[in-house]
Amino acid sequence: MGTTFLLVMIAIVLAGAALGVTASLGPRGRGPWVYGQLALMVGIYVGFALTGIDPSGIVLRSSLTPLVVEGMTALLFLLLGLAVLQSGRIWLLGALILGHGGVDLLHLLMKADHSPAWYAFICAIYDAIVGTGAIWLLSSPKKD
């Protein structure tokens, strides 16, 4: 069994667990839970970009660019997510997670070197499962 296969299986199990928690929550708790997942997803890439900064606090030009790009992308996703939570169309949070999967694919195409080589592929799989499931679970009629 190869490492990639194992990582894919772990991503599927974690995505299933995340959707299980989403399904177990009441309709009022689902949106904030999915938003929290989105925040974690974008925050991980910001964390990867931060690791490119010298521990003494010196920001090298080559490590500043990923931090700015990832930070601005994260801010965009977080602000859009907050707007979605206020809009009453919380199923769009699932669409934002699918959009984050698209950003993962961009990381693959650009061969971003500030995150592990395997991460973007595995994250795209996770995002596809969680985003699709979130759209379905957040679209269901409210019984609360």
Q: Look at residue 62 in the predicted model and tell me its pLDDT.
A: 61
For the chain, give the number of residues.
144
Query: Which tokens belong to 47?
Result: 């964390």
Per-residue pLDDT tens digits for 115-129: 888 888 999 999 999
Q: Look at residue 143 in the predicted model and tell me its pLDDT.
A: 57
pLDDT above 80 (res 56): no
Cα–Cα distance, 38 to 27 (Å, whole number):
18
Average pLDDT over residues 85-109: 93
pLDDT above 90 (res 57): no
Amino acid at 94: G
Average pLDDT over residues 107-115: 82
Average pLDDT over residues 11-16: 96
Residue at token pair 């809009």: 87
18 and 37 in contact (C-beta within 8 Å)? Answer: yes
DSSP assignment, residue 91? T
39 and 81 in contact (C-beta within 8 Å)? Answer: yes
pLDDT above 60 (res 133): yes
Cα–Cα distance, 89 to 91 (Å, whole number):
5
Q: Look at residue 112 in the predicted model and tell me its pLDDT.
A: 78
Question: In which element (H, E) is residue 143 found?
Answer: none
